[in-house]
Amino acid sequence: MRRAYTKKSMTEYDPRLVAPTCLYLASKAEESPVAARLLVFYSRKVYTDERYKFEIKDILEMEMKILEALDYYLVVFHPYRALPQLLQDAGMGDISMTQLSWGLVNDTYKMDLILVHAPHMIALACIYIASVLKDKDTTAWFEELRVDMTVVKNISMEILDFYDNHLSITEERVNSALNKLKP
The average confidence (pLDDT) of the chain is 87
Fold of 79-167: Cyclin A; domain 1 (1.10.472)
> Does the pLDDT of residue 51 top 80, yes or no?
no
Tell me what the mean pLDDT of segment 63-92 comes to: 89
Q: What is the predicted pLDDT for the residue at 120?
A: 95
> Does the pLDDT of residue 183 top 70, yes or no?
no
CB-CB contact of 141 with 110 (8 Å): no
| Number of alpha carbons in the 13 Å side-chain half-sphere of residue 114 | 17
Q: What is the predicted pLDDT for the residue at 147?
A: 92
CB-CB contact of 138 with 131 (8 Å): yes
Q: What is the predicted pLDDT for the residue at 1?
A: 66
List the chain domain ranges: 2-69, 79-167
SS3 of 145, please?
A: helix
Tell me what the mean pLDDT of segment 140-161 comes to: 94
CB-CB contact of 24 with 59 (8 Å): yes
Q: What's the whole-model pTM score?
A: 0.69
Rounded-to-integer distance, Cα 58 and Cα 73, Å = 21
Rounded-to-integer distance, Cα 75 and Cα 69, Å = 14
DSSP 62-77: HHHHHHHHTTT-----
